[in-house]
Amino acid sequence: MSRKVILGFGISLDGYIARRNGDLDFLVIDKEGEALMADFFSKIDTTIMGRKTAAGWVKMRESGEIPETPGMTNYVVSRRWKPGKRDGFEVVSGSLKAFVRKLKRRPGKDIYLGGGGELARSFLQEDLVDELFIGLGPILLGNGIPGFPGKFPQRDFKLTECKSYSNGSVGLRYERKRTKISR
């Protein structure tokens, strides 16, 4: 079985992954959510995120909000940061297709594409997302950073899981539907 790229994030009912200032205070992680995330992260061994998401992860890791992830290979895709090692990440740039192809050829677990926004748009433009893992929170923010900023071609997905939680959140999993071209 080949490795999948899974785009995952928490999102408000009106489609925002963070407040305009980047704050995620509306995403409440309870014991149920912690168990769900532990299960999710047990099935991945590689993360890819953008510069802004990575900076937020560093702060949350330092404050103890998220645990250290030994054995996890963490990449940051950035045009601003210089390629190389930084804060527990390897910074990369260049062709996303070539980078993902290289990662998928390596043995291992699935690959987590963390956060939405610009990097998610780039992955969707290049058709590199195999699965969506969305935590839909019971809140309307009215404004913020969209999970799926526009300007990518239509991508079709099939619902594979829908689970509700006691805090009113819903966990959604979608698999990318790709049509086979016959020759």
Domain at 131, CATH number: 3.40.430.10
Nearest to 93 by CA among 29, 50, 45, 156: 50
Question: Range of 157's domain?
Answer: 5-114+124-170
How many whole angstroms separate alpha carbon 113 and alpha carbon 129?
A: 8
Confidence bin at 66 (pLDDT 50/70/90): low
Please give the tally of structural domains in the chain.
1
pLDDT at 159 > cutoff 70? yes
Q: Is residue 180 part of a domain?
A: no
Q: Report percent pLDDT > 70 for the chain.
A: 95
Cβ atoms of 170 and 163 within 8 Å: the answer is: yes
The model's pLDDT over 87-100, given as tens digits with 9 standing for 90+, comes to 889 999 989 999 99
Cβ atoms of 146 and 17 within 8 Å: the answer is: yes
pLDDT at 178 > cutoff 70? yes
Q: Is residue 178 part of a domain?
A: no
pLDDT at 67 > cutoff 80? no
The model's pLDDT over 114-141, given as tens digits with 9 standing for 90+, comes to 877 889 999 999 999 999 999 999 999 9
State pTM to two decimals.
0.89
Q: Is residue 176 part of a domain?
A: no
